[in-house]
Amino acid sequence: MSSLRYRHELDGIRAIAVLAVILFHVGYPDMTGGFTGVDVFFVLSGYLICGQTYLRLIAGNYSATEFFARRIRRLSSAYFACFLVTALVANAFFLRSEMEVVANGFLSSITFTNNINLMSSAGYFSGPAHENPFLHTWSLSIEEQFYIALPMLILLTRRSPRVFAGLLVAFFALSLGFTLFSGDLVHDREARFFSSFFRVWELASGGLVFLALHHRLLPERLPWRRWPGLCWCWCRSPCWMRPGSIPAGGR
On whether residue 166 sits in a domain, the answer given is yes
The 3-state DSSP class for residue 172 equals helix
On whether residue 52 sits in a domain, the answer given is yes
State the Cα–Cα distance between residues 58 and 209, nearest whole angstrom.
17
On whether residue 129 sits in a domain, the answer given is no
3-state helix, strand and coil shares in percent for the chain, rounded to the nearest 5: 75, 0, 25
Q: How far, CA to CA in Å, does 3 sit from each of 54, 62, 122, 160?
A: 10, 11, 42, 18
On whether residue 111 sits in a domain, the answer given is no
On whether residue 220 sits in a domain, the answer given is yes
pLDDT at 65: 94
On whether residue 58 sits in a domain, the answer given is yes
pLDDT at 155: 92
On whether residue 208 sits in a domain, the answer given is yes
Q: What is the pLDDT along the chain (251 residues), one digit of tens a residue?
A: 556 777 888 888 888 888 888 888 787 777 778 888 899 999 999 999 999 999 999 999 999 999 999 999 988 888 889 888 988 888 888 888 888 888 888 899 999 999 998 887 767 766 666 678 888 899 999 999 999 999 999 999 889 999 999 999 999 999 999 888 887 777 777 788 899 999 999 999 999 999 999 888 767 665 544 544 455 454 445 555 555 555 545 45
End-to-end CA distance of the chain: 39
**Containing domain of residue 205, as a range?**
8-65+137-250
Q: Domain total for the chain?
A: 1
Predicted TM-score of the model (pTM): 0.83
On whether residue 144 sits in a domain, the answer given is yes
